[in-house]
Amino acid sequence: MKIEGYNASDHYDEMFTETGVIRQHYEEFSQGLKKIALKKMNHLQFSANQTQKAMGMTFNVYHDNQGLEKILHLDIIPRIIPNEEWLHLESGLKQRTYALNLFLQDIYNDRKILKDGIVPEELILGSKDYLKPCVGLTPPKGIWCHITGTDLVKNKDGEYYILEDNLRCPSGVSYMLESREIIKRAYPDIFNQKGIRPVSDYPAKLLRMLQHLSNKAKPVVGVLTPGIYNSAYYEHSYLALQMGVELVNGVDLIVEDKKVYMQTTKGLEQIDVLYRRIDDVFLDPRTFRPDSMLGVPGIFEAYKAGNVALANAPGTGVADDKAVYAYVPKIIKYYLGEDPILNNVPTYLCREEKDRKYVLDHIHELVVKETNAAGGYGMLIGPKASSEEHAKFKELIKANPTNYIAQPTLSLSTVPSLTEEGVQARHVDLRPYILYGNEIEVIPGALTRVALKKGSLVVNSSQGGGSKDTWVLYN
């Protein structure tokens, strides 16, 4: 199958080799795609968009002055990952998750890794995400990071690189699940023939993991949401519904005798496990921010007393700081005695004088990131930025070097995507979801985010990116 005007020569394309030959894991799909006319493809895309709207698959963009809810555009052409490639990713993600959990337990207790000088003490203890109320705590079952969404990219060398770890309240899994249902209906014949690993059991696995955190035989589980104005509220309500548990706001909960109760029509009911989608500092106005209207007064004391489990555990944010990210290979080696299976992107820490000088001298070649920003904000893509933007970021780095890191500009891999000009190559990243309960499990699918604009490397939904269904093959 040859696609008219398709360019896959200056980067790694996941469907075509540099010479235009179809990669083996895409061959069956391309045969089925041949039978679908472009007009039919456009009709399928329109139907997918309408289905998303009907299902309420929308999100708010906080930085959008119009304040409108938008759908996360689902591109109709799936991304396909061969089984051998996925198994490599799976082993690397399990290794990384296990090591980061040991790191969190250590830095809030013995601090051996800091005393041994592997990670700078001031980087951790001086971080705004290092929560002093968590010092000395061990979460239920010793697990800190229960739900992780790790972002990866495939570079032009065909290798995957870890871009960042999301250990706080990673979002997007509902889009992974619902996108699968939409795409299955778009290509029923192709889907049934290919042998694609399912993702539909994620809610059941998530519930089992949450129940594992309690010592009760039948624990009561809930999803704690900030409310309907949160950008990911659709996901909160979707997951609560799929798990068959209560969706609660802070005002629905009350703490008595260091136990958390839901207010129901039949009176108070104790809740044992909360999948919280509220940021750490808003959880409890008595312990963290006193002006928080989202949290539950006294919930942190209930947590410390062991009467409620929280997923993810408060305090995990310090481990996915972009400056700490640079030390994860050393963290893996320190705790596990192993080399990382998946590599980091080479990272320059602007807090280090040598690195800072290199970044300032080569800013036009690098991607500069604010260490605590998310959603594609606080970032400069040097090769695509203006000289004015270069100058602005140089001043920001000089004023607060600890707040910035820099990385080489990667040539993200591309996947065929349906655009107004027909099927074109668009850059993608990958966010697999990892659950840590009785064991560490990587869900055999992922949220693939796609940059919808030609040549763009920014895939974040808040910056105009879209998504794809991700097919992981059995063999």
Question: Residue 37: its pLDDT value, please?
Answer: 86
In terms of C-beta density within 10 A (0-12 exposed, 13-18 middle, 19 or more buried), how is residue 380 classed? buried
Question: Residue 377: its pLDDT value, please?
Answer: 64
In terms of C-beta density within 10 A (0-12 exposed, 13-18 middle, 19 or more buried), how is residue 244 classed? exposed
Question: Residue 69: its pLDDT value, please?
Answer: 65
Q: For residue 391, what is the domain's CATH number?
A: 3.30.1490.270
Question: Residue 371: its pLDDT value, please?
Answer: 84
Q: Write the DSSP symbol of residue 237.
A: H
Q: For residue 260, what is the domain's CATH number?
A: 3.40.50.11290
Is the distance from CB of 415 to CB of 406 less than 8 angstroms? no
159 and 181: one domain? yes
132 and 167: one domain? yes
Q: Tell me the C-alpha to C-alpha distance, in Å, between residue 380 and each of 216, 326, 397, 457.
A: 49, 18, 12, 11
Is the distance from CB of 245 to CB of 221 less than 8 angstroms? yes
Residue that is last in its domain, among 376, 408, 440 = 408
442 and 385: one domain? no
Question: Residue 335: its pLDDT value, please?
Answer: 98
Question: Residue 216: its pLDDT value, please?
Answer: 96
> CA triplet 151, 156, 158: central angle to 5 degrees?
70
E strand or H helix at 466: strand 466-472
302 and 239: one domain? yes
Residue that is last in its domain, among 362, 377, 408 = 408
Q: 121-136 burial by CB neighbour count: b if 16+ within 10 A, else e?
A: eebbeebebbbebbee
> CA triplet 126, 130, 132: central angle to 5 degrees?
100
29 and 171: one domain? yes
213 and 194: one domain? no
- Phi/psi for 394 (5° steps) reads -60, -45
Of the candidates 169, 442, 177, which has an alpha carbon nearest to the alpha carbon of residue 311? 169
Pairwise CA distance, residues 269 & 278, whole Å: 21
Q: Write the DSSP symbol of residue 16.
A: B
Of the candidates 202, 272, 213, which has an alpha carbon nearest to the alpha carbon of residue 238? 202
67 and 153: one domain? yes
278 and 191: one domain? no
What does the DSSP assignment read for 44-100?
Answer: HHHHHHHHHHHHT-EEE-TT-TT--EEE--EEEEEEEE-HHHHHHHHHHHHHHHHHH
Query: Along the 475 residues of the chain, how does pLDDT read in single tens digits?
Result: 557 767 776 789 999 998 889 999 999 888 888 888 889 999 999 999 898 888 877 666 555 554 556 778 899 999 999 999 999 999 999 999 999 999 999 999 999 999 999 999 999 999 999 999 999 999 999 999 999 999 999 999 999 999 999 999 899 999 999 999 999 998 888 887 779 999 999 999 999 999 999 999 999 999 999 999 888 899 999 999 999 999 999 999 999 999 999 999 999 999 999 999 999 999 999 999 999 999 999 999 999 999 999 999 999 999 988 889 999 999 999 999 999 999 999 999 999 999 999 999 999 999 999 987 665 567 898 998 999 999 999 999 999 998 899 999 888 999 999 998 888 999 999 999 999 999 999 999 999 999 988 888 878 776 678 999 999 999 8
Q: Tell me the C-alpha to C-alpha distance, in Å, between residue 130 and each of 134, 167, 271, 462.
A: 8, 13, 27, 27
Number of domains in the chain: 3
149 and 245: one domain? no
Q: Which domain, by its residues, includes 402?
A: 346-408
**Who contacts 79 (Cβ-Cβ below 8 Å, separation ≥6)?**
14, 415, 428, 448, 468, 469, 470, 471
98 and 75: one domain? yes
Collapsed DSSP state (helix, strand, coil) of residue 298: coil
Question: Residue 336: its pLDDT value, please?
Answer: 98
92 and 223: one domain? no
419 and 381: one domain? no
* Tokens of residue 181, six digits: 């249902």
Question: Residue 104: its pLDDT value, please?
Answer: 98
Of the candidates 187, 178, 203, 171, which has an alpha carbon nearest to the alpha carbon of residue 80? 187
Question: Residue 444: its pLDDT value, please?
Answer: 97
Question: Residue 360: its pLDDT value, please?
Answer: 96
Residue that is last in its domain, among 408, 437, 456 = 408
Question: Residue 54: its pLDDT value, please?
Answer: 83
Question: Residue 68: its pLDDT value, please?
Answer: 57
